[in-house]
Chains A and B, each alone.
Chain A
Amino acid sequence: MTWRLRVDPIACTGHGLCAELLPETIDLDEWGYPIIGSLSDGLLPLARRAVADCPTLALLLERDRTR
């Protein structure tokens, strides 16, 4: 099972916490909003934590049906 991260862009207010927890996968643009990269399975526990810690619950972990 492959997973991917997704952002609800309306809910996201650019706290940037997710990029601190998952710098391997999440980059911030110049305005502080996340740019999501691909997620390796080894990072799944950290990804779950980033999802739980997002202050606006804007980070979503979903099954990746495209891969």
Chain B
Amino acid sequence: MTAGTAAPHAVRLLAGYHALGRPAKLSDHLAQYGPPPTTTGASLIQAVEEAGLTGRGGGGFPTGRKLRSVAAGRRPAVVVVNAAEGEPASAKDRALLTIAPHLVLDGAALAAGAVGAREIVICVHAEPDPGEGAEADARRGRARTLADTVRRAVADRERAHAAPVPTRVTAVPPRYVASEETSLVRWIDTGDARPSFGPRPFERGVGGRPTFVSNAETFAHIALIARYGPAWFRSCGSEEAPGTALFTVSGAVARPGVVEAPLGTPIGEVLRLAGGPSEPLQAVLAGGYGGTWLPPELLALPTTPSAFKAAGLALGPGILVALPERACGVAESARVLAWLAAETAGQCGPCVHGLPAIAADFAELASCRVSTELYRRLDRRLSVISGRGACRHPDGAVRFAASALRVFGRHLRVHARAEGCLLARWPSILPIPEEW
């Protein structure tokens, strides 16, 4: 990879880091990519549309169409960068903002120009604050919070007069549903980071203004599309899902971490980019805790929305957790479902009551108290909850639970036996955030 404006290929967002070996300062970023082009609003939106970029937060909505809707609003718009990574098994947005903050900030500035926004708000997850002053700085050491990292990058741009739109960073409470787009809007407006019901942010968002909310990674792709164009963007990935995506790979792989792969890369290939399975696998969780368990037979499944849809699944955000054979998928799922139930915002009846009920049913399955009555109850509950909350949290939990029943169906027979499951006692593969 040479410096200058040569277009990087299969590895794009992470290319700068691989070449540099450390997080990119503004000077590194400019040496690698040059200043962002001064594309006018309409031509940037057209380029993003032609590129076929879709949101990288899990929804997969066409980014160009969203930009166009926000730009069509009458009032000055707002751009919100969603890096409030609520998924415990996801680290891609943190990684990207740490190693290449200026790609994300370029993308945010370009999007702001395209939709006529006068303000950019960058949302990251809050972390424990070690306090103020020199002593706290020493305690903090290298473990600077992500908010600090991003604020520093923003300040560097302001000093270099490379921040055309006022940009602020806000640390959102570290709750699962706080990263939902209506939660971010509500957090910015009122300090309450819970989802709301009503108009979507692109119509009426921050301060009632049309608001472009997208995942941090999406903005970094916008920054590259503006420089290299839609044809370059489409030169890798698949026809219907062009470009690359970041995946956080964890569990039983040799080198857990964040990798970049063209969309359409089979699940098993993405695992190989993280060193491949470190032991025999019984399943892979795709899409995080609102995603689906895949049996080993589906490791050849391409990472495109349509391939997942054809298999009756949803691709979701780029998160893969490899579950080794030695683990009990039922107990792992039960533990996650208990956490998901506790993470309800407490607003919508079907979620407030339904998620704890499903979690309790899974706790019974995990502790080998299996009965046909339990299965019947669980089936009924899983069939009535989806689509009935203000946000998609209950839908995700139901999707996750239903896929656990499908994929671990055979293993559940062990749970039904008198002697029970010997692996269910210590679920520990799927990460659960610590209480703090």
Contact = CB atoms under 8 A, between A and B. Distances in A.
Contacts of A9: 197, 347-351, 388-390
Chain A binding surface SS class: loop
Contacts of B388: 7, 9, 33, 35
A29 B384 contact: yes
Nearest to A11: B197
A52 interface: no
A10 B350 contact: no
A53 to B, nearest CB: 18
Contacts of B389: 9
A10 B390 contact: yes
Interface string A1-43: 0000001111111100000000000000111110100000000
A17 to B, nearest CB: 14
B384 A12 contact: no
B397 to A, nearest CB: 15
A54 to B, nearest CB: 14
A29 B349 CA distance: 10
Contacts of B354: 29, 31
B139 to A, nearest CB: 40
A56 to B, nearest CB: 11
Contacts of B350: 9, 29, 31, 33
Interface in B40-72: none
Interface in B343-385: 347-351, 353-354, 357, 380-381, 384-385
29 contacts: A7-B388, A8-B197, A8-B198, A8-B390, A9-B197, A9-B349, A9-B351, A9-B388, A9-B390, A10-B196, A10-B197, A10-B348, A11-B197, A12-B348, A12-B349, A14-B349, A29-B354, A29-B384, A29-B385, A30-B357, A30-B380, A30-B381, A31-B349, A31-B350, A31-B354, A31-B357, A33-B349, A33-B353, A33-B388
Interface of B: 196-198, 347-351, 353-354, 357, 380-381, 384-385, 388-390
Given A8-B197, A33-B388, 4 more contacts: A8-B390, A10-B390, A13-B349, A31-B353
